[in-house]
Structure 1
């Protein structure tokens, strides 16, 4: 939205409350539009249209529906799911603040004002903007006086956006929707059948031409049965699953519900969902500001020779290997991807002085390091902050405290024993 807005010459502004505002203090997932509040409405709609979940409902009403009357359908949909119910106070505070920006924009210029927001907020923002009130540009609330704050861009990927990977407000199968947007439903469906077949064959799964012909017939038949002029995502996936899987399924097909893939999911289904996730990854411009932790982690990995994808054996009686081990434990404590210890000492009484690690490079590391920058400017300081948080949470639990103490020893932060 920012990029396209600038291309058209629009004056682009963020209008939501900043992350440090009290409205976000107790929110479990600050990017979620509180699905629980409109679950009843969407469940009724799913029953009415005979679809499994809100994603299939959205496809039926919007993505593969006739574009004629789309704006009216969207208005009616969000009016229904929002209803007359009051939002929680955090959401109400956000909506009041956003409405001030909208009124100020409307007052300043006769040109169109486009608000990019979650559909759940749209009915309330319309009402608040039309109800009147201050028309001056609002003041952005500042952070608490003793807080140190910063904002940094994080590169995203289709994998991180995918609801099947656990992002609560994500979308399922982002590669499918990108192709749907770029090429239309028919072309997207054909391209993704090819993508799934290629991926499965690469995993040594048998996918014959006859299987694909059968999948196409099943997909088109399901689309017609469900009242679709063209095949949608679930039509495509159901058709492929019916043609390619002859075994009993231990788990329901993941696109029939919301959530992550569960243990026992059929391997063909895993590969199908991965193909529709896609592998596109966002990039930051080299001059994009980053928290100091990014440079410190990159420097530590280069200095200690911890880059690449490989198995690593460490001798903890060797000074350099001990330094490498401590850095790896700090990286693992920050939950940065690509650093997995296979074996090594797990308690103070262990007599082994050897560790084995799996190192893996990956696109997910940079965003994780940027997000971990909130804990400190250096790798050691960031790890210590995490340890101190664990001490605070442990209270008087001796088992938890002993675990923190051993973690501090592994990270080389032994001075924490003073606490």
Structure 2
């Protein structure tokens, strides 16, 4: 009678120590599996992901992809196990699917990994020591030269032996407790597979773990003690799309490689890989307007092959082809070499997962919306210009705004080339990143669909302590952009209550432009904003009533801030084009312009805005300017009034010669110490004008001559020349 122990002795186990995401390892593993013909395969990966193995061969599954494990209660607590087409683990999964071989993951379950307090993993790079022993200063270059450039099914025993020597070496990194627990779990999984009847068991794991799994497994008791009492959390595992750039070490991925794009090329292009690679490089450089001919490519291939021969390599590796690219195709231009590295060596490719993969309802709603609106997740930036008069493009805009509200910045608003065609246009820059998969899961706590989730989140934010008027007006604007009609009423109610309790007129002034913008966007998008109009009216009444008190006793810096708010509010009222609102606002500005106890920059600005609105004519504006420049005011106060009146509109002095004479006469009357005192403010005022405006003012001063009533006497030509040169420099006039 044959016992279970006898059966285990009859079974054959092969451990294949691989390098994660190595094309040479993947090709060698595929050959080794075909030669070994296992009846069971175990792969390093979270054991609770076993139910997802069946999706590997499903339609729509395209690497790079990753296993995502997360804690449903706190989705930000997550971990990824990514695979590319050139990952050995993926090739093992594909082999199992093609030949109907049972396959399981054998590493610690994600439920344990996510509960672990330590990060785990080996400290240091064990390959670096092997590379140093072989004379390489870079472990990646050594692995690329020894393993990745060829396929050898017999290399695994040598790799395991080398790793065993490293683990036993006194200078090697100490194997940490988390790694020991992982290896104990792997051995336990192997024992279960053998007990279940496996006779030809293949184990695919990182090369560092291979020595711990090779040979007799020994008694299970020590491993059980290591695993006893391990912390555990409730975890959910699914497949998500991944990108090549996220497989790169530059992304912070601990098991990453520096050149995923190159590795993908090596794995997929088995015939003349160097020539085909350099042809791709030529295409990239031509796309960047660099003249690269076929002769350049031929010469680059020759140089790469020559370098490989000199370095006794069977095939040119990445270092050789990069040197050939630098010397022949880029002419030594490191900038273009970096372009090649970014676009090809690292590369960018986004995988895909089948529709049936388990997911949260919010993700399913997002996928359905993307199909309907014909939007694709792409890893490279793409500009999307939308015409909001078209139903589909309007819905695209709403989708992107809802995602932004939920913290999923797939789209970023930009100023596009068609922006000047009006408010019916929107431009976005789209770029999908793998971590958005976690962001979608996190956002699912707000609701099962994008609309419901966005409404719930924006209302929750509005009710938070410390929310400001500006925050609420921004939220209202976003709610209308995202078509969250059910949230609008709650936001308006909250806005009214916060505004009623806020007695700071500067806060009210700051909120008014946002409300006006929201009103206009609502009109463009066909949204009912009547209630919002009542809020804006109430806000304006309180601003007009509180403005006199808010502008009293301000210093120069505070006056400059209030002036900017008044400018924005004036633009908002003008944009709204409502007769009642305009009348209320202009009345408040008239009261401000009559005040004698207000900073000159604000009075000057009020006069200027009233003049622009036609409330006062040019003659009245000139008389007010003359009064401001009269005896009794300090030079600094006069300069501030002029700055407020003229700021941003230099052509006013060109077209209104009376104003020009007043300013010119005042400047002529200044004593030297007064001129020096006011010069910084004057430079700021005139420096803000366009260069063409400054030249026009200079010509007007030159051509017009002294104004009426100006006496010319006792002119010191030498000192006058110095003064004129200074004025010419201020005005931007060539002397």
TM range (shorter): 0.5 to 0.7
Q: For residue 358 of structure 1, report the CA deviation from its aligned partner.
A: 1.1
> For the residues of structure 2 that align with 1:235 and 1:143, how far apart are their CA atoms?
48
Higher mean C-alpha displacement, 113-122 vs 267-276: 267-276
Q: Could you tell me which residue of structure 2 aligns to residue 106 of structure 1?
A: 194
> For the residues of structure 2 that align with 1:210 and 1:324, how far apart are their CA atoms?
47
CA gap of 1:22–1:327, structure 2 versus 1, over 3 A, is same
1:239 equivalent to 2:324? Answer: yes
CA gap of 1:298–1:382, structure 2 versus 1, over 3 A, is same
Q: Could you tell me which residue of structure 2 aligns to residue 47 of structure 1?
A: 132
Q: Could you tell me which residue of structure 2 aligns to residue 11 of structure 1?
A: 102
CA contact (8 A) 1:38 1:81 kept: no
Q: For residue 275 of structure 1, report the CA deviation from its aligned partner.
A: 2.5
Higher mean C-alpha displacement, 186-195 vs 323-332: 323-332
Q: Output one character per residue of 1:42-97: Cα deviation in whole Å (capped at 9) or x when no partner.
A: 44433343434221111122123684852233113433454465433332222211
More relative contact order in 1 or in 2 (CA 8 Å, sep 6+)? 1
CA gap of 1:42–1:331, structure 2 versus 1, over 3 A, is same
> For the residues of structure 2 that align with 1:9 and 1:110, how far apart are their CA atoms?
14
2:428 aligned to which of 353, 358, 361: 358
1:2 equivalent to 2:93? Answer: yes
Q: Could you tell me which residue of structure 1 aligns to residue 31 of structure 2?
A: none
2:355 aligned to which of 263, 283, 286: 286
CA contact (8 A) 1:372 1:382 kept: no
Q: Could you tell me which residue of structure 2 aligns to residue 310 of structure 1?
A: 384
Q: For residue 339 of structure 1, report the CA deviation from its aligned partner.
A: 0.6
> For the residues of structure 2 that align with 1:44 and 1:109, how far apart are their CA atoms?
39
Structure number with greater Rg is 2
Q: For residue 384 of structure 1, report the CA deviation from its aligned partner.
A: 9.6
Q: Could you tell me which residue of structure 2 aligns to residue 262 of structure 1?
A: none
CA contact (8 A) 1:293 1:370 kept: no
1:176 equivalent to 2:280? Answer: no
Q: For residue 102 of structure 1, report the CA deviation from its aligned partner.
A: 0.9
2:236 aligned to which of 141, 150, 154: 150
1:96 equivalent to 2:158? Answer: no
> For the residues of structure 2 that align with 1:402 and 1:121, how far apart are their CA atoms?
58
Q: Could you tell me which residue of structure 1 aligns to residue 307 of structure 2?
A: 222
Q: For residue 231 of structure 1, report the CA deviation from its aligned partner.
A: 1.2
Equivalenced residue count is 368
> For the residues of structure 2 that align with 1:121 and 1:19, how far apart are their CA atoms?
18
Q: For residue 26 of structure 1, report the CA deviation from its aligned partner.
A: 4.2
- Identify the structure with the greater helix proportion: 2
CA contact (8 A) 2:401 2:478 kept: yes
3-state SS in 2 of match to 1:113: strand
1:207 equivalent to 2:292? Answer: yes
CA gap of 1:196–1:21, structure 2 versus 1, over 3 A, is same
Q: Which runs of 5+ in 2 are unaligned?
A: 1-91, 377-382, 416-422, 480-486, 495-735
2:411 aligned to which of 326, 332, 339: 339
1:271 equivalent to 2:340? Answer: yes
> For the residues of structure 2 that align with 1:405 and 1:18, how far apart are their CA atoms?
44
> For the residues of structure 2 that align with 1:71 and 1:299, how far apart are their CA atoms?
45
3-state SS in 1 of match to 2:239: coil
1:21 aligned to which of 83, 96, 112: 112
3-state SS in 2 of match to 1:4: helix
3-state SS in 1 of match to 2:255: coil
3-state SS in 1 of match to 2:103: coil
CA contact (8 A) 2:115 2:231 kept: no
Give the alignment of 1:180-191 within 5 angstroms: 180-184=266-270, 187-191=272-276
3-state SS in 1 of match to 2:236: coil
CA gap of 1:88–1:47, structure 2 versus 1, over 3 A, is closer
3-state SS in 1 of match to 2:157: helix
Q: Which runs of 5+ in 1 are unaligned?
A: 250-265, 315-320, 344-352, 391-395
Q: For residue 386 of structure 1, report the CA deviation from its aligned partner.
A: 9.5
- Identify the structure with the greater strand proportion: 2
